[in-house]
Amino acid sequence: MSGAQEKSSPQVINATLLRTRTRDILEQAKFRGEHFIVETFGKPMVAIVGIDEYRALMDRARRTEDGRVDEDM
């Protein structure tokens, strides 16, 4: 996962910006490992991360539920 492991704060954007710049935001998440929090009326609604990072997070969550936590993460 290139770039996905960087420790940077997510960009907070509103739903209107997401609507007007969807492709740019999706490409930034996928190819640059950037994170986004989308707010509606000032409240966080969803997070956007690249698919590779999402899969890694879900895999880690499953292992944690099964009582197996990786030491290298």
Higher pLDDT, 19 or 72: 19
Residue 32 CB contacts under 8 Å (≥ 6 apart), including other chains: 3
- Residue pLDDT, tens place only, 27-69: 999 999 999 999 999 999 999 999 999 999 999 999 998 876 5
Enter the pTM of the model: 0.75
State how far the alpha carbon of 73 is from the alpha carbons of 6, 7, 8, 22, 40, in Å: 13, 13, 16, 30, 32
Fold of the domain built from segment(s) 11-65: YefM-like fold (3.40.1620)
Burial bucket for residue 72 (CB in 10 Å: 0-12, 13-18, 19+):
exposed
pLDDT at 34: 97
For the chain, give me the number of helices (H) and strands (E)? 3, 3
pLDDT at 69: 59
Residue 56 CB contacts under 8 Å (≥ 6 apart), including other chains: 1, 4
Is residue 5 pLDDT above 50, yes or no? no
